[in-house]
Amino acid sequence: MASVKDIFHTAEFNKKLDEFIEFALQEDIGECDHTSFATVLATTQGEGRLLVKDNGVIAGIEVAQRIFKKIDNTIKVQVKIKDGAKVKRGDIAFIVKGPARSLLTGERLVLNCMQRMSGVATQANELMQLCKGTDAKVLDTRKTTPGIRLLEKWAVHLGGATNHRWGLYDMILIKDNHIECAGGVKQAIESTLAYLKQNKKKLAIEIEASSIKQLKEILATGGVQRILLDNFTPMELVKAIRLINGKYETEASGGITRENLGDFAHSGINYISVGALTHSVKSLDMSLKIFPVA
């Protein structure tokens, strides 16, 4: 089973991104940016520089460009560093020029998006570095911030990690609660196969195993593409992967930290899902200073 396809820059993704930007601007501006309009003349032109204040991976440059364009299409952005590049403290990511009022109105939304996205991209890159020397890939999860999943998953991609499913609609992931409510592993898989056939759906199926016993039930039933080995230790993973014997893709989750991620990667696992990749991340520090120009 291939990972979820790269949807970035498709018409559907662009539409969702535009909708997010419109909502975020309305949330922030409301009827008017009264402070900027009260203090700055309409004729004042401005220039801003996106200053990076941490080492990491930059993400959100394209988002910033689209935010400024949405606010005022006369704004010009000169990109110095592209999305996905490694940056260091003191770097200038872009220079933006245009009406000072418009720059001031967009400043905070640009920073909010870029700091969050860059924090996620940086963490994704760091976790992938811990997998060096293996074929394991770090996956994100659905543990994203409501409303900005598309930004966070884009940042994961820019950081070099891999996107899992985008939601409940594009893949079947049978977890412990589903198995319990279905009456067991066999029932859950057979019911899923019947559902997909009846509804003429072609969705990949992944199922969670929480023990070697449950794994053996899954192997006896078949019909899936990936097995999620939940809360297995690295040593237990080695045993489980031997049992699976290359018949299915494998994924590990639960109990994974920066300190032990390398051990999980060297077990022979295909994927390692890390919820903290998006739900517990430190934003990358940066600033956008704006000053008047002649």
How far is 270 from 136, CA to CA, in rounded Å? 5
Catalytic residue among 5, 82, 89, 108: 108
Catalytic residue among 62, 91, 230, 249: 230
Q: Which residues contact 221 (CB under 8 A, 6 or more apart)?
A: 185, 186, 189, 190
Q: Fill in the DSSP letter of residue 174.
A: E
Q: Which amino acid is at 172?
A: I
Residue-wise burial string across 253-279, b where 16 or more C-beta atoms lie within 10 A, e elsewhere: beebeeeebbebbebbbbbbbbbebbe
Is residue 230 flagged as an active site residue?
yes
Q: Which residues contact 45 (CB under 8 A, 6 or more apart)?
A: 97, 98, 99, 100, 292, 293, 294
Catalytic residue among 80, 175, 186, 216: 175
Is residue 175 flagged as an active site residue?
yes
Catalytic residue among 143, 186, 216, 239: 143
Three-state DSSP class for 284? coil
Q: Which amino acid is at 108?
A: R
User: The tokens of 223 are what?
Assistant: 């019909």
Distances (CA, A) of 290 to 38, 49, 133, 235: 17, 7, 44, 54
Catalytic residue among 62, 91, 140, 208: 208
- As annotated, the active-site residues are 108, 143, 175, 208, 230
